Structure formats: structure tokens, C-alpha cells
Amino acid sequence: MDDRRAGTEDRHRRSTRDAYDRLAPVWSETTDAGPFNGFLERPALRSLVPRPLAGKTVLDAGCGSGAQCEWLAAQGAHPVGVDLSPAMVEEARLRCRGAGRFVVGDLADPLPVALSSLDGITCSLVLHYLEDWGATLRSFATALVPGGWVALSLDHPFGPPLPGQRGGYFDTTLVSDTWVKGGVEVTQQFWRRPLSSAIDAFADAGFVVERVAEPQPSAEAMALHPAALAPVVGVPWFIVYLLRRAP
């Protein structure tokens, strides 16, 4: 990678980390029962996680404030949470009250675990912060036991374009979006890419796609969040993959 591109990536990584440090104190309260994470993406991802989980070691890559790790621990798994944002990692540690292990780390670097030490990996709405998935997915593959799995969610590649999005469907483009959560406003930048690019990256790292979920709001979610979820009905919003490390 040339110096200019490395510098741009460093700046992007820093601004992502700083934005999530600011969001950390309000992340659980604004997402756990929120329409998109709480009622759409997390149920879909959890529905694809292979059972039973008791006694399994599962890494949550980009663990945020620990919702997934808390759920994994409640299923009897031993969670390991990794996140770029130190403030998120601290929230996750507090939330899980002694269950699991938490590490500040960048998914662009090798995972901080031994080879073939994980039964599974969950990764909710994180990989789009990385332009190049090669090193990350190869590190996932080598950290998993043979036959290990990854449950991974992303914005749906066929979803509506974001305001100001340049380029067409087939371009891998950096897009930005502004959110206000619990009074904290951030502008995040992340990558959009076509479906073939995602599937190729999984295959290149030695994964096969075992299942795909394209969640739609449940009746309960529509009753609780009718205005927020109305634009999602009939529209691809999130995509969740269950990947299996090829033998």
C-alpha cells in the first residue's frame, strides 16, 4: 500500500474510533431496543448462529458495547470481544460483569487469539468500515477451528443509496452518513461494495456461504416502531451471512 493511501486509511480509522468513543455511553440504550439493531439486525444474526453454544469460544468482532457478548454468555458460550474503540470495550466489559474477555484492537490486524482457538465469530455491522477485507477474513479463518463459523451482518448491497452517494452499484465507494443517537451526533464513513465483491472476499479467505438472511420487520417491531420501520418493508436493508471455514 502506498504512503498516501495508508495515511488516508489511518485518518479514517481514527475518525471511526473517535466517533464510536463518543457514541459508547449511549450505544446500548439507543440500539438494544432500537428499530434497526434491536429489532431487525440482531434477531436475524442470532437466528443464523449455530447451536448449541454452551462451552464454545466465540469472538465478537467489533463488539461495540457488548450486546452480542452478553447474549453469547447467556447461551453458555465464552465470549471474546474485540473493538477499535476503547470506550466501547469498557462499556462491553462493564455490561458483561466478569463474563468473557475484552480487547481493544483493529480488525485490520491479526486477531489477538491463538490459531484454531475459536469455534465461531460474530461480526455485526462492522466490516464495512474496512476497505480491504483480505487480511481480516484470513485472520478469521486461521483463528477458527476447522469447520468453524462466522455470522456476519452488513448493510444490504441492494439497499437504497445514501444521500450524496457517488458511483454506481458495481463501484466500491466510501459513503458517509450522519446519525444522532442519545443527543450525540456523528458523521461516519464506510464502504459500499457489490455483492460479488463480498462473496469473492469470503471465498478467497477459504469460507463457503452456508446461509443468507435478509431480515424484514416482525409484527412486534412494526407495532413498536411504525414510522422508523415503514421504509424497510419490502426493501433490502441488512444482509446476514453464515460462513463456514472450508475443511
Q: What is the DSSP string of 120-173?
A: EEEEES-GGG-S--HHHHHHHHHHEEEEEEEEEEEE-TTSPPPTT--S-TTS-E
Site string for ligand SAM, 121-160 (x = CB under 6 A): ---xxx--xx------------------------------
Q: Does 30 participate in binding ligand SAM (rule CB under 6 A)?
A: no
Binding characters for ligand SAM, 94-123, by CB under 6 A (x = yes)? ------------xxx---------------
CB 107 within 8 A of CB 41: no
Cis peptide before 52, with omega less than 30 degrees from 0?
Answer: yes
Please select the residue that binds ligand SAM; options are 53, 88, 205, 240, rule is CB under 6 A: 88
Stretch that binds ligand SAM, among 63-71, 179-187, 200-208, 212-220 (CB under 6 A): 63-71
- Distance in Å, CB of 162 to ligand SAM, minimum: 15
Residues found in the chain = 247
Least distance to ligand SAM, CB of residue 146, Å? 25
The answer to whether 80 contacts ligand SAM (rule: CB under 6 A) is: no
Cα 224 from Cα 243, distance rounded (Å): 32
Secondary structure letter of residue 224 according to DSSP: H
In the complex, the smallest distance separating the C-beta of residue 64 from ligand SAM, rounded to whole angstroms, is: 3
Non-local (6+) Cβ contacts of 230 within 8 A are none
Q: What share of the chain is helix, strand, coil (3-state, %, to 5)?
A: 40, 25, 35
In the chain, the amino acid numbered 189 is Q
Task: Tell me how far, at minimum, the Cβ of 160 lies from ligand SAM, in Å.
Answer: 18
The span of 56-64, 139-147, 177-185, 237-245 binding ligand SAM (CB under 6 A) equals 56-64
User: Which residue's Cβ has the minimum distance to ligand SAM?
Assistant: 64
Q: Name the residues that contact ligand SAM, by CB under 6 A.
A: 16, 20, 31, 37, 62-64, 67-68, 83-85, 88, 106-108, 124-126, 129-130
